[in-house]
């Protein structure tokens, strides 16, 4: 990047934090911006943070990034300026080297999501350089995530670099054997993930509601479990592809079931997958399966994880997820496993298990993480590596 002192740097960050009663309820995304923003400011740049916030239909107070300025200043530990799209050029002209400003919601322009050249030019007029630090928005070819990289000298930010590096270690150039855990509610939302993974990993561990569809394809009666019976043919195709690719698919052989979906239900029991009654549903994988999966991880060098193994929000159906997450965390701490996890509910489950900070890398990027697991090229990343 060279000498950037006095240069206006447009930094695309992810400031799309959850709010409750007008307060930021989780500042993880704000903290993730700190390495890039402080480094640029310390190098004397005028740091102009570009970000979207929510899904506005046009300018509105509800979706204004003005409400993030004070919480962001508190996290950054420095003053943060605000640049509105009215009078933006004059506001930027007043900033000094080392200053940090949040520029108003990029989605106040209809052209942002259309990657409209006029909007790209409008954004570009404020800066001399472009840094993309928002991996979580990189699956979208928008003006601020992709278009700007074509019109200004473009660089990856520190968080973006860390994320790409971790993902490369997990699936790009991983140490084998590699295990993938894919769980969650439905097969239909993760078909492309499963198809891509069978070619990449040595062990594919299927849990959660999606395991039920695979069990049904194997002729197991899953009772009234969440199950996509119309996708058993697709499950068969994935079994065949895995066999051809020498990938072992792991399905549970014992499960935790109950007649009603409630916390600690009276009908709770653990059984073999072949003993699920017609009026029961599978809500977690069982202890024997969990122990077998722990042994798989002990023999692996790399783990990539998306999706909980059970309905983890409702006790005790978080048991398998918490246990396997703790095994993965311990193996990571011992240095025998590189562990990368992502997905909204997955991150929540790892936090519930208290082990998120022991994983090698936990991605907070929902959609972008899944598209990366599908093997797709992310437009925001591709534009940087031109
Ligand atoms: P992520 O957000 O990490 O990508 P998903 O959204 O795909 O994960 O899946 C998470 C959801 O899957 C959770 O709400 C969880 O309750 C649900 N789930 C997991 N196992 C089961 C199951 N056996 N039956 C019903 N729902 C399940
Ligand atoms: Mg989810």
Segment 45-79, tens digit of pLDDT: 999 999 999 999 999 999 999 999 999 999 999 99
- pLDDT computed for residue 372 by the predictor: 93
- Whether the model pTM is above 0.85: yes
User: Is 174 exposed, middle or buried, given 0-12, 13-18 or 19+ CB atoms closer than 10 A?
Assistant: buried
Cα–Cα distances in Å, from 181 out to 126, 177, 257, 341? 44, 13, 21, 9
From 180, 181, 184, the mutation candidate for ligand 1 (largest count of ligand atoms within 8 A of CB) is 184
Same fold, 8-156 and 164-373: yes
pLDDT of residue 305: 97
Query: What are the pocket residues of ligand 1 if the criterion is a CB atom closer than 6 Å to any ligand atom?
Result: 183-185, 189, 208-209, 226, 282-283, 306-308, 310-313, 343-346
pLDDT in tens, 220-273: 999 999 999 999 999 999 999 999 999 999 999 999 999 999 999 999 999 999
Please choose, from the candidates 210, 194, 219, the residue with its C-alpha nearest in 3D space to the C-alpha of residue 273. Answer: 219
Boundaries of every domain in the chain: 8-156, 164-373
- Percent of the chain's residues with pLDDT above 90: 94
pLDDT tens for residues 260-305?
Answer: 999 999 999 999 999 999 999 999 999 999 999 999 999 999 999 9
Which CATH code fits 8-156?
3.40.50.1260
Cα gap 87→101, rounded to integer Å = 14
Which CA distances in Å does 127 have to 34, 93, 238, 355? 20, 11, 48, 40
The arrangement of secondary structure in 164-373, i.e. its CATH architecture, is 3-Layer(aba) Sandwich (3.40)
| Apex 138 CA angle, 363 and 41, nearest 5 | 80
Beta strands in the chain (DSSP E): 8-12, 19-20, 23-24, 46-50, 81-83, 100-103, 129-132, 154-156, 178-182, 203-206, 248-250, 254-258, 269-272, 281-285, 302-306, 338-342, 361-363
- What are the percentages of helix, strand and coil residues in the chain, rounded to 5? 45, 15, 40
Q: Is residue 186 flagged as an active site residue? A: yes
Mutate to test the pocket of ligand 1, among 197, 214, 308, 365 (most ligand atoms within 8 A of CB): 308
What tokens were used for 381?
């990343």
Contact by Cβ (8 Å): 133, 158? yes
- Rounded to whole angstroms, the Cα distance separating 58 from 119 reads 14
How far apart are the CA of 336 and the centre of ligand 1, in A? 28
Give me the residues near ligand 2 (ion), CB cutoff below 5 Å: 344-345
């Amino acid at each position: 990047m060279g000498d950037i002192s006095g240069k206006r740097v447009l930094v695309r960050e992810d400031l799309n934090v959850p709010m409750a009663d007008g307060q930021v309820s989780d500042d993880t995304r704000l903290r993730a911006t700190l390495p890039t923003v402080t480094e640029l400011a310390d190098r004397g740049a005028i740091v102009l943070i570009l970000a979207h916030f929510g899904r506005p239909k046009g300018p509105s107070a509800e979706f204004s990034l003005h409400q993030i300025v004070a919480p962001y200043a508190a996290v950054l530990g420095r003053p943060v300026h605000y640049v509105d799209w009215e009078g933006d050029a004059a506001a930027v002209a007043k900033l000094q080297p080392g200053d940090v400003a949040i520029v108003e919601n990029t989605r106040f322009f209809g052209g942002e999501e259309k990657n409209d050249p006029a909007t790209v030019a409008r954004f570009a007029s404020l800066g001399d350089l472009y840094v993309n630090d928002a991996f979580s928005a990189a699956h979208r070819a928008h003006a601020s995530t992709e278009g700007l990289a074509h019109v200004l000298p473009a660089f990856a930010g520190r968080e973006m670099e860390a994320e790409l590096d971790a993902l490369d270690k997990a699936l790009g150039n991983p140490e084998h054997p590699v295990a993938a855990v894919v769980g969650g509610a439905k097969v239909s939302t993760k078909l492309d993930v499963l198809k891509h993974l069978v070619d990449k990993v040595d062990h594919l561990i299927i849990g959660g509601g999606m395991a039920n569809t695979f069990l049904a394809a194997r002729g197991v009666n899953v009772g009234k479990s969440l199950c996509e019976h119309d996708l058993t043919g697709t499950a068969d195709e994935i079994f065949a592809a895995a066999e051809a690719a020498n990938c072992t698919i792991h399905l549970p052989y014992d499960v935790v079931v109950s007649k009603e979906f409630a916390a600690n239900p009276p009908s709770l029991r653990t059984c073999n997958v072949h003993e699920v009654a017609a009026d029961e549903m599978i809500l977690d994988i069982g202890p024997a399966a969990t122990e077998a999966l722990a042994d798989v991880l002990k023999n692996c060098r790399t783990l990539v994880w998306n999706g909980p193994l059970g309905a983890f929000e409702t006790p005790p159906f978080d048991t398998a997820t918490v246990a396997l997450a703790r095994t993965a965390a311990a193996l990571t701490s011992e240095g025998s496993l590189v562990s990368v996890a992502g997905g909204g509910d997955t991150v929540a489950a790892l936090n519930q298990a208290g082990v998120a900070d022991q994983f090698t890398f936990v991605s907070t990027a929902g959609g972008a993480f899944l598209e990366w697991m599908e093997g797709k090229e992310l437009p925001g990343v591709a534009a940087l590596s031109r």
